[in-house]
Structure 1
Amino acid sequence: MNNVLVVYKKSTFELYGNSPDGKTREYVRDNLEYLKKSHDSQQKTLETVADELNQRNIKNHVIYRADLKELSGELKKLNGYDLIVSVGGDGTLLEVSHYVTDIPVLGVNSDSSGSTGYFSMANSGNFGYLIDNFSNTKMTRLNRLEIMLNREILPELVLNDILIAHSNPAANTRFKLYMNNQEEMFRNSSGVLICTPAGSTAFMYQENGNIMPIDFGYMQYHIRSNRKEHDMFRFAGKLEIESLTREGGIWIDGEHLRYDFALGDKIKIYMGQPLQLVGDLEEKRKHFK
């Protein structure tokens, strides 16, 4: 291992401590002890990661996750690294995953007391050990999804889930859906939720979806807020959606990454290149509730 990229998140304290908004500053003041403790934990973890790499003479580049887009260039893909270390929680690792093709990713939970860190296999205590034993550490292959909007393939691969819905959450989402060349019309719904096997314990789980085996080769989809479909969760290798909605959005892995679509636009979703996650996620999943 010669070159490692370390990507970190900023704490709530760091982001909002000096906010120009009075209510935000008041929130920080009211929760100062907790937020400062979390901030200190995250800073300590980031320092530990850098120190452990430096002690082993491993070249490393540390960047804030908001700078990933600029670093990844026009193709929005990272190259030239042997390993990418995501220091934060699941949100940080999800963002990192959008810029990675074949580089393994190691998640480091920067604040175990306040972050779920479902994808994180390391913390400040065992990071050095994992680096020393990297060649013997199990990798988990996580299936991802690829999206084509009309004729353009979107650059970000999906690790968790996709929500396709009207731009206004109070409005109906209308579309035609094709699965295995069969067309179905859903006129009154809150959109379509689609997830990977890894994402079946996230948004889809909250919708009462099925937890899928981590190596399952299909996506799961659910028509939201439709009386006929409220308890139906289907599986597919490929989906095609034709928009009958004037203004809609495709949300990828949460609320931060969105693409707009309009009436008549076509969206295709199919299995994409997997992500190599450092660690045994299947073993960790056994304790999921």
Structure 2
Amino acid sequence: MSRRRLLLLLKPFNVYPSRYKDELSRPINPQILGYLENRCKVHKDAINICQDILQRKSVDWKPILRNDLVQPIHNVDLVVTVGGDGTLLQASHFMDDSIPVLGVNSDPTQVEEVEEFSDEFDARRSTGYLCAATVKNFEQVLDEILGGHKTPAKLSRISVCVNSHLLPTYALNDILIAHPCPAAVSRFSFRIKRDDQECTPLVNCRSSGLRVSSAAGSTAAMLSAGGFPMPVASQKLQYMVREPILPKAITSNLMHGLIGSEQSMHTVWYNKEGVIYIDGSHIFHSIRHGDNIEISSKAPVLKAFLPPHLSS
């Protein structure tokens, strides 16, 4: 039987840097500096621990920094990300539906630390919402996966077409369509269709943009904006018009809602310029006046091993 092949995708450890503190114009709170330096150390230690564990296993594995990932991931049986949700998101942009991913949260939040520093600063660390492991249980979770005792969940992703051309990156969390200047007004219209049949009337919007999230992303920016969490296995998408300006009463109830798994949202952009952001600010696509944008969940799923509270 051939050995299993793993790709170990690593968030870089940025050494903050006591050596930079003398170059800053303002003195740094020693508590904050110590906290930042500890975060770097904890993450670096987590990388070393995961690599030590893999050395003991009968697997072939290769480490790569997430910033060095530029080609689609092929010819491996499992991708292991060490970092947080951002590292898992970045991996997903290079993966189809044939390879599962396991996220290891390298720097989980420490409740007592948050309470201790609550009067000074926000001491929350990595959320790791989609990460099924930490360094404490990584070996156990890995053994269960390699032994065939765990099954990955199938997470819906967001497909975006601009003028009938499919964008090459599927969003795992969300997309944001907005003006390049966040203070500018976005002008667009949308309606939801199924098999070219209209499911909603045309909604004309002046707002700060349009956000659409998957079920996995419904607890991120969407929830912060007033949306609701969705079952992680849902194939529906949630959308929200951001800060609508004087919506008509007849369409105000359409400013926030769901796009069914067999439906799609058809949007026309009416600003001179605009941007579609995919899972944050690093991946984006420029749009212009008159562009037609189709948004749906008709995308390859992402196979991901999830923490127990999500996979149960």
**Fold shared per TM-score above 0.5:** yes
Q: Over the residues paired in the alignment, what is the CA RMSD in angstroms?
A: 2.5
Match of 1:247 among 270, 273, 276: 273
Gaps of 5+ in 1: none
Q: What SS does the aligned partner of 1:193 have?
A: strand
Question: 1:11: which partner in 2?
Answer: 13
Question: 1:61: which partner in 2?
Answer: 62
Question: 2:152: which partner in 1?
Answer: 139
- The count of residues paired between Structure 1 and Structure 2 equals 278
Q: What SS does the aligned partner of 1:198 have?
A: coil
With over 3 angstroms needed to count, the CA separation of the structure-2 counterparts of 1:241 and 1:17, relative to structure 1, is: farther
The yes-or-no answer on 1:103 pairing with 2:114 is no
* Offset, 1:44: 1.2
The 5 Å alignment of 1:73-222 reads 77-101=72-96, 102-113=98-109, 114-134=125-145, 135-180=148-193, 181=198, 182-222=200-240
Q: Work out the CA distance in 2 between the residues paired with 1:122 and 1:25.
A: 38
TM norm structure 2: 0.82
Q: Work out the CA distance in 1 between the residues paired with 2:142 and 2:26.
A: 39
> In the alignment, is the contact (CA less than 8 A) between 1:17 and 1:28 conserved in 2?
no
Letter of the 2:294 counterpart = K
Q: What SS does the aligned partner of 1:31 have?
A: helix
Greater Rg by CA: 2
With over 3 angstroms needed to count, the CA separation of the structure-2 counterparts of 1:192 and 1:280, relative to structure 1, is: same
Superposed CA offset, 1:142-170 (max 9, x none): 11111112232112111111110111111
* Offset, 1:109: 0.6
Letter of the 1:193 counterpart = R
Superposed CA offset, 1:169-207 (max 9, x none): 111111121212345243421111100011111111011
* Offset, 1:267: 1.3
The yes-or-no answer on 1:264 pairing with 2:264 is no
With over 3 angstroms needed to count, the CA separation of the structure-2 counterparts of 1:204 and 1:126, relative to structure 1, is: same
Q: Work out the CA distance in 2 between the residues paired with 1:158 and 1:193.
A: 12
Match of 1:234 among 233, 246, 257: 257
TM norm structure 1: 0.88
Gaps of 5+ in 2: 110-124
Letter of the 2:128 counterpart = G
With over 3 angstroms needed to count, the CA separation of the structure-2 counterparts of 1:175 and 1:232, relative to structure 1, is: closer
Match of 1:274 among 290, 301, 311: 301
> In the alignment, is the contact (CA less than 8 A) between 1:138 and 1:279 conserved in 2?
no
4+ long deviations beyond 6 Å: 16-21
Q: What SS does the aligned partner of 2:129 have?
A: coil
